[in-house]
Amino acid sequence: MVKLKPGVTGFYGNTEPPYIDFKAYKQVVYAIAIELRMKVTKCSSEPEEYNDNFYRAILKGDKKLWVLCNMHYPIIALSDGFHYSYESDDERCGYYWDRFIEIPSIIELVEKISGFKCLTAEEFNQPVTGECIRDLWGSELNQIKYWKPKTISEILFNFWD
């Protein structure tokens, strides 16, 4: 079970969470692109139009692949895109990642060349439970209550404002 650390959401109180070195992330992105024979078309440390808590890179080959990294902890994920959703039954709305992709050779590569952890698709799709968010700060728990994430990935790579 993945247990999240304080500051992972990007929201904090008196203590600011650590930040991941963008240059180290960028090196991982280029290593992944070489391994997959894809081209890096974008690699950004700045939020776009959202107040997100992650770095992102876009790789292109036969398909588009997003390489995400939580800004505060060395956690990497691969996704094939995101979409906007409004679920009226539980009042959830916002941007959500479509699917997390697990490529065993990339998981191995990331962990071999860096201090980053590339979680499995199963870990990213783990349901949010009290146990996995127990160590988060009050400001983060307030955001979780408001945004109602269903999976760990919705916390690790969020578009919350």
**Which amino acid would we find at residue 108?**
E
**Burial classification of residue 102, based on how many CB atoms lie within 10 Å of its CB (0-12 exposed, 13-18 middle, 19 or more buried):** middle
Residue 145 above 80 pLDDT?
A: yes
Does a structural domain hold residue 82? yes
| Per-residue pLDDT tens digits for 44-63 | 887 665 678 999 999 999 99
d(CA 43, CA 133): 29
Does a structural domain hold residue 149? yes
d(CA 151, CA 128): 5
Contacts of 91 (CB under 8 A, 6+ apart): 148
Count: domains in the chain: 1
Instruction: Quote the pLDDT of residue 91.
Output: 55
The domain of 143 spans 22-156
Q: Mean pLDDT score of the chain, rounded to an integer?
A: 88
Question: 62 - beta bridge partners?
Answer: none
pTM: 0.88
| Per-residue pLDDT tens digits for 62-108 | 999 999 999 999 999 998 877 666 665 555 556 667 688 899 999 99
38-47, 90-99, 119-128, 129-138: range with lowest mean pLDDT: 90-99
Arithmetic mean of pLDDT, 134-155? 93
Does a structural domain hold residue 93? yes
d(CA 93, CA 87): 6
d(CA 85, CA 1): 27
Does a structural domain hold residue 99? yes
Does a structural domain hold residue 12? no
- Assign 109 a pLDDT band (cuts: 50, 70, 90): very high
Does a structural domain hold residue 86? yes
